[in-house]
Amino acid sequence: MTLGKMTMWLLFFLLTVYAFIPGLLIRLFGYRAFKRGSGNNELALTFDDGPDEKYTAQLLDLLKEYDIKVTFFVVGKNAEKHADLIRRMHEEGHLIGIHNYEHKSNWLMLPKQVRRQIEQSSEIVERITGERPIYYRPPWGIINLFDFLTIRKFRLILWSRIVGDWWKHSHKTKLKKRLLKRLRSGEVILLHDSGETFGAYQDAPGQMLLALKEFIEELVPKGYKFLRIDDMLRDSNDFAVRERSFYRTAVVFLWMKWESLFHFLFQVQCVDRDTRFLHLRIRKYDGKTLELPDGERIQSGNRVAELHLDNRMLYSMGRSARTSMHLAIGLIREMERTMPKVADFILNDPDYSDVKGLYGISMINRGPANFGFTVLDLPKGVFAVLSKWYLRILLSVVHPQGSQRLQSKSEMLVPKIIVMSRKELLRRYQPENTAKIPAVKQERIASEQSSTAALGK
């Protein structure tokens, strides 16, 4: 593969991991996001992009007339400009969530910028109302990979119904028809009380208000209730449990599809087709020189065998393991069984004749040394950051304790380089040397690894 193609695939990979996969997870599958309730004849009206001096005031008058409580996701910049409207929302019993400080897509900002935008909006609302918002809706419902951690203090809220009320030709009759079409209980309805954002028609909220009035007048006599998002969430606990289970399954499904694509694109080879525990791919090492204890050196330009665990098998092991200890012991046994096959594979495959050694990135920081690997710090940079968050997300899916594991001893969850020279690999695991290898003390290694128990790409 040429350098140009490698660069293209690397950019594709980074874009996929940074933007497209996170967006797909929350928009299509609602991963870690709330987008629909479960109560009978309950609806949640939500309004984005305000406050607007003209239309938000009219909206508040309409809601007061029918004694309806709703949720606003305000743009920080607009909230700062119209503090009186924010204060009125709060005093009249509405829930205030946030957008970013400016209506910018999270795809177009670095994680630090997104965090600053969210913090600014939160501080503005808290300064006006005395309460810090805990509900967040990203502009256009788009997030990047790092947002899963940036917004962990917030509840991510999406929607189940959107009617295009920002368009210039969205007449009240069309909007009302879209609002009523196949309406189901638990809908989270997205509307806009400002037409000042990019792509919106400035006076579109006027038609939205006319349609909303008729919509309310038609539904109230039928027994429909309009709830704030926090009230709908309280009424949807059982639904939320089922939802999380479904979305976890969806996340795993997408992850496995991505792994299959990765293996195809980068010609990853299976070492042992019976268990498919370990996979290898040949690549040129392009980092700083790695000095190994046996005197070998891996330098930029050397060919190495990049080591990958099979995530499908890892997930299966994680599901069946009752504790971290059981998962760690299972990993140890598979490594003991498979490493001799890795040595045999590299020794007998002509394509690996000039490979200098094994190389991988792992969150296990101590255990691999017992198998002959040298563990080194990953150089600081973009790749280190991406590797950390990729492996943390993988751990949250695979580990028996799920995302709770990320909150316990998180300082230990740091990816590191694990590397072994070809000479050391063959010395330890060549068939004629296998009998000389001392047995690995499983319980000791398991206790060391129980705090991590996850390998990854």
The whole-model pTM stands at: 0.56
Helical (H) or strand (E) element with 157: strand 155-157
Return phi, psi of residue 416, to 5°: -135, 160
192 is catalytic: yes
67 is catalytic: no
Which is catalytic among the residues 94, 192, 308, 399?
Answer: 192
pLDDT in tens, the chain (457 residues): 455 555 665 666 666 666 676 766 676 666 678 888 887 899 999 999 999 999 999 999 999 999 999 999 999 999 999 999 999 999 999 999 999 999 888 878 888 888 899 999 999 999 999 999 999 999 888 787 777 767 778 888 999 999 999 998 889 999 999 999 989 999 999 999 998 888 888 899 999 999 999 999 999 999 999 999 999 988 665 444 444 555 566 667 777 777 788 888 888 988 877 768 899 999 999 889 999 999 999 999 999 999 988 877 877 777 676 677 777 788 888 888 899 999 999 988 999 999 999 999 876 656 788 899 999 988 877 766 766 666 666 666 555 454 444 444 444 457 788 999 999 999 999 866 544 444 444 444 344 444 333 333 4
* Terminal Cα distance for the chain, rounded: 20
Q: How far apart are CA 134 and CA 140, in angstroms?
A: 19
What six digits make up the tokens of 90? Answer: 């709060």
- Domain locations along the chain: 32-235, 267-449
Instruction: Name the fold adopted by 32-235.
Output: TIM Barrel (3.20.20)
**Diameter of the chain by CA atoms?**
86
- Nearest residue to 394 via CA among 453, 454, 449: 454
C-alpha torsion angle, residues 176, 136, 146, 111 (rounded to 10): 100
* Pairing mode of beta strands 290-291, 188-192: unpaired
Q: How far apart are CA 438 and CA 91, in angstroms?
A: 72
Q: How far apart are CA 135 and CA 45, in angstroms?
A: 14
Q: How far is CA 279 from the centre of its chain?
A: 25
CATH number for the segment(s) 267-449: 3.40.630
In degrees, rounded to 5, the angle at the alpha carbon of residue 254 between the alpha carbons of residues 135 and 234 is 30
Residue 406's pLDDT is 43
